[in-house]
Amino acid sequence: MKTLTRAEEQIMQVIWKLDKAFLKEIIDALPNPKPHNNTVATIIKILTEKEFVGLKVFGRMHQYYPLVGKDAYSKNSMKSLVKGYFEGNFSNAVSCMVKENNLSIDELELLLQQLKKIKN
């Protein structure tokens, strides 16, 4: 799966949230300061070329919808992050989060409980 730039990911977050939307709706959902319409349109064009976004044509207007789900992209991004920075070892990634105080013991125990449920 291809990766997204920060700007592309920001647009995808909006499209995932809205599920389907016209350009104006996407721009309205973006935080201030809002990028120019042409900038957003260009990013959406790139997202369609990367096959992250599909479109339906209604006369001169286009309605956009995600072709790649947020969960699928998140999983792929996490795997790439772990592979690139933690030698492919998820335990190393979790250990790093614990060491940096980004993950508490309580959160770690909750994660362990969730993993046990998934395995059973």
Confidence of residue 4 (pLDDT cuts 50, 70, 90): very high
> Rounded CA gap, 11 and 2, in Å?
15
pLDDT (tens digit per residue) in 49-68: 999 999 999 999 999 999 99
pLDDT (tens digit per residue) in 21-55: 999 999 999 999 999 999 999 999 999 999 999 99
> Rounded CA gap, 59 and 77, in Å?
36
Q: Are 15 and 21 in contact (CB under 8 A)?
A: yes
Delimiting residues of CATH 1.10.10.10 domain(s) in the chain: 6-66
> Rounded CA gap, 56 and 21, in Å?
10
- Can you give the pLDDT at residue 48? 97
Q: Could you tell me the end-to-end alpha-carbon distance of the chain, in angstroms, rounded to an integer?
A: 30
Q: What is the pTM of this model?
A: 0.79
Paired strand residues for 21: 64
Q: Are strands 61-66 and 21-22 parallel, antiparallel or unpaired?
A: antiparallel
Mean pLDDT across the chain: 90
Given 3.40.50.80, 1.10.10.10, 3.40.47.10, 2.60.40.10, which CATH number is that of 6-66? 1.10.10.10
Nearest one of 84, 53, 50 to 66, comparing CA atoms: 53
